[in-house]
Structure 1
Amino acid sequence: MADRALRGSGLGAKSFEDESGIEFAARQEIGFDCTRGHHFTVTFAAEAELPTLWECPRCGSEAKRSDGVVAEVKEGKPARTHWDMLLERRSISELEDLLAERLDLLRQDDDQRATGRHSA
């Protein structure tokens, strides 16, 4: 067993190569400030789309960029309601006619219940 033991280095991710001749990708550091007063920086690739918010590594609260850049407010479409979808299929006059028909049916049903003559 002693002859198979690893000697001279740990089992972690250690590299014995030197960094000469290696060209690192272009990077940029962006500073962030959280609501609790912590400041930290995050390194991004130069061509990366930079976020405006980041989670604070100390407290977990939301942090905003230190350089004052804020997110663009996107114009959202208003939610389509049932009424909007109904108006896409029928006109107001058609809806008024349907409402009148349904109200007549309900009134007839109420009259029949009141007089005791209900058709099954």
Structure 2
Amino acid sequence: MAETMRGMRLGGQSLESDVGVQLSARQSVGFLCPKSHRFDLVFAEGVELPITWQCQSCESSAARLLDGAAVIDDSEADAAPRTHYDMVKERRSEQELEQLLEEMLVSMRKRRSQGQVNA
């Protein structure tokens, strides 16, 4: 078996030819980080391009370039962070929240009158 494998690199080279192989359409996209590192990445055409990419040099967030200018993501800039109260209001109505508040206040007042000050 050693004689038949002489000169071959196992797994390192394909024996199939490149004739008739068509590569998918590609596009080069530039990115620029806050420390002025510029780099290009290749993506398939027709895919959704990311707004940011991690810089290969300093690992900060690099912005995608379009005609030499950084692309700004409007959806993230306008979106206010959701608070805990916002999420509670999505799950419960105002009436349910008022009822829960009243139950908790009654419970706390009862514990306070019994000398249990901690909540």
Cα distance, 1:57–1:108 mapped onto 2, change above 3 Å: closer
Secondary structure of the corresponding residue to residue 28 of structure 2? strand
User: Structure 2: where are the runs of 5+ without partners?
Assistant: none
TM-score, scaled relative to structure 1: 0.59
Pairing 1:13-32 to 2, within 5 Å after superposition: 13-32=12-31
Q: State the partner residue of 1:6.
A: 6
Structure 1 position 15, deviation (Å)? 2.9
Pairing 1:1-120 to 2, within 5 Å after superposition: 2-3=2-3, 5-7=5-7, 9-67=8-66, 68-74=70-76, 75=79, 78-81=82-85, 84=89, 85=92, 87-89=94-96
User: Structure 1: where are the runs of 5+ without partners?
Assistant: 111-120
Cα distance, 1:88–1:42 mapped onto 2, change above 3 Å: farther
Secondary structure of the corresponding residue to residue 89 of structure 1? helix
| Larger Rg computed on CA atoms | 1
Within 2, Cα distance between the matches of 1:36 and 1:108?
61
Within 2, Cα distance between the matches of 1:28 and 1:42?
8
TM-align CA RMSD: 3.8
Within 2, Cα distance between the matches of 1:71 and 1:26?
26
Within 2, Cα distance between the matches of 1:107 and 1:69?
57
Within 2, Cα distance between the matches of 1:19 and 1:61?
39
Structure 1 position 80, deviation (Å)? 4.7
| % identity of equivalent residues | 30
Structure 1 position 61, deviation (Å)? 1.9
Structure 1 ranges of 4+ moved more than 6 A: none
